[in-house]
Structure formats: structure tokens, C-alpha cells
Amino acid sequence: MTIMIPAWVDGRLTPVEKLDAHRRGLRHKAVSVFVLRGDAVLIQRRAAGKYHTPGLWANTCCTHPDWNEAPEACALRRLDEELGLTGVTLRHAGQVEYRAEVGQGLIEHEVVEIFTAQATPAMTLALNPDEVSETRWVPRDALAREVAAAPERFTPWLRIYLADHAEMVFAAA
């Protein structure tokens, strides 16, 4: 199945095949979600079969909207598809742009809408093994220490969010 994502080509937003956007390093739209419980963040380990950054730890959910899909709708869809997580209320935390090499000649050049959500007491997870191999709750300060001690275990975007945008991401947490 070909997935078309919104990317800028010659200054114009255009539907582009997702893998092609990453091969060409095109600037494209994305969403990232941080689900929080007190001072802890739910992080996920990307499945071994992912085409880039397999086995690395990332924030709760990150993805690309389909062409003409609203960012919040995309975030809710992917929380369900990746983690079986429904019934959360998202808060838009802001927008971030970054560019990072993610291995195998692929580049993420993303304009990311960042969302946060508070975990509910009844929240359950049902991991999609094609997307996520495991999850865990980590206090934010412990996560920062883990990333500093072993950055190679974490996705480039999570490292960027924590290093450059943590205040925005966690402002209303």
C-alpha cells in the first residue's frame, strides 16, 4: 500500500509517497504525541521491522498525517493503530521543525504538530507488534538521564524534543 503524505516540493504542499519523501529529505508534515502520567512519559520501542530506526525508543507516538488529514485526527488514529489507545483528550503543545538523518540514507525533515495527553485511570494498551515492541513509563528526569547516557538507544527526534523543546512539550503537563 502506498502512503501519501503532505510534503513541500518546489515550495508547494504536494502529496508524496512517504518513503520517497524520506529518501529525498523533503520537508513534510508530521505529528508527535506524549502521553503523560504525573511526571512520567509513556515511551515506545519501535518494532524491529520498521523501515527506519527499528528497535529504538521514541515518544508515545509519532507519525505522518495522510494527505488532507487533520493533525489531531491523525494523532488519535495512530495512538489507536500503534498502541490500541483510545479515549484520551489531546492538547496541542506547539509546532517544531527539525531535520535528522535516521539511517539507511533516509532523512526526516519534519514540521511536527506536538500533542500531549494525560493518561486516564482506565487506560489500557494493546500493542500492534508491527509498530511497537514494548512500552514503559519513565519519569521525565530519568528519561533525560537515559538519553544523555546512551543516545544511540533513542530516536533522533526524541533526542531533539528533549534537548531543544522540552519546555514547550511539557509546559502544561
Q: Which residues are catalytic?
A: 62, 110
Cα angle: 120, vertex 121, 126; to 5 degrees = 75
* Nearest CA among 123, 8, 6, 5 for reference residue 60: 123
Integer Cα distance of 41 and 59 in angstroms: 8
Residue 61, classed as helix, strand or coil, is strand
CB 37 within 8 A of CB 118: yes
8 Å CB contact between 116 and 140 = no
Q: Please work out, in degrees rounded to the nearest 5, the angle formed at the alpha carbon of residue 31 by the alpha carbons of 104 and 84.
A: 95
Distance of CA 172 to the CA centre of its chain: 19
